[in-house]
Amino acid sequence: MSEPVFINRPHIELLQRLARGSLKQNLPRAIRLWALLITLYGDDNHRLKLGNSFTFAEWRHAFFSSTHPQGETVPPLHDSACACAKTTADWIFDPQIGVPKSEWLRSLSSHDAIPAKLDELLEQRLFAVTRRSLQADLQILTKLGWLKRDGHDYVRVTNWPTSPVLGNATTSKDTAVPYPCDPYGLALLNLDLADIAQSFREPIGGERRFFFEVDYIIHKTNQERVEDWHETLKQLWVQTPTPPIRITYNSAREGAALKCIVYPVCVYYVRRAIYLCAFGQTPTRKGEWYNYRLDRIQQMYPLDWTDEDIPKLLLDRYPHNLPKPDYIQEQMEQSWGFDFYEPSKLMVLRFERTFHDRYVQGTFRHDTFKPVSYQQAEQLIRQHTPKQDHQQALLTVLQSRDRSDAYYCVRYRDDDTNVKMRLRAWRPNGEVLLPWELRQKIIEEVKQEAGLYLS
């Protein structure tokens, strides 16, 4: 049987599925993902000359011209024949693979998905983006099931992800298009959960059979404030460009109410509450990013970009390099933890074998959460513990542990609250062997806890 060929045109329904959330906000990326599918699975006129397995560098070499810049910045217009020279309109209104402009605009209007300054968006060069954004595009296709990962390689798949059909997507008998990961208009980042939610979206036999209970710790007295901030942020995000805001934040970590001027990027539900991910000043006066729990924000005022109080780190990014939500997701994919702005470190864990087989094996924690052998755990301790006395102490601990236990390594965000809570939940059957500093913090915590019960 001949391999399937992706011939789906960029209809709004397809782009909505690729947007993984608001099409109005994510339209350029959705169009890029569609274009990538054409070049990965399209006919001979459009499919890239790539093997079934390829690295990012190999894909970039096949997709762009030989003169395409390889740095971290947005590439300038350097070669009219390079793929980065084509505008968004060039891609979606292409007579061979695209759709008629009038039809597409009419459909976009009916879906209430018209972004601000649409004409400018259509004239922008679709693939004139950073290397990081391009890597994120391939990672999204991997999450959606259009690619697989094998180490540093991406691998084309023969069994495409399926969903309700949007028309003739393929010339083989297996008709497939990307499935929606946002069945309720939300960006459900756990695609397996999104798939379940989609399958139970409608009542069965006249009864709703799927219930989705989410822990939400915000007290009723603060819920109205959170709703107000939701509405304020929604109004800010429809403006182009989004204005910065001055907030007064009741910081639990600092034990004080502090004022910060930030650029609001997105809201995120995690740790049983909703957080505003923002770039700019922070309550700790360290770094450039911070996750603000919405119910702890006491005041929020939009500012004008000409305001003399706007800090330099924001002005340096205005107007063409303001942070986007994709950056946050990219950082979270690199290391375990919601505090994506904290340093990334390597952790080595040991699980008692019976506990592991019952409660850890077969579960997902993070892409970097991988099993290692006893010998690999020893090697990681040697490689990542520079102080010899600390290294020897950890090796002595390891030598006293059962070799048949389960050992794992993971990249994590140092001092992340969610990670620390998970480690506590695993105690005493999960033990941190590396890094030394984290292990010492846990030792002190365990001593304090034991004192409460043994005194």
pTM: 0.60
What are 412's two structure tokens? 């994590």
Q: pLDDT at position 448, please?
A: 95
Reference 378, options 352, 399, 347, 359; nearest CA is 399
Q: What digits encode the pLDDT tens for the residues 338-391?
A: 999 999 999 999 999 999 999 999 888 888 999 999 999 999 999 999 999 999
Q: Which residues are registered as beta bridge partners of 150?
A: 153
Q: pLDDT at position 277, please?
A: 96
Q: pLDDT at position 181, please?
A: 34
299: left (phi over 0), alpha (psi -120 to 50) or beta: beta
CB contact at 8 A, 136 and 56 = no
CB contact at 8 A, 170 and 162 = no
Residue 397: exposure state from Cβ atoms within 10 A (0-12, 13-18, ≥19): middle
Task: List, for the chain, all residue ranges whose pLDDT scores fall below the cut of 50.
Answer: 1, 163-185, 191
Which domains are seen in the chain, by residue range? 12-180 (no CATH), 220-323 (2.30.30), 344-454 (no CATH)
Q: pLDDT at position 223, please?
A: 80
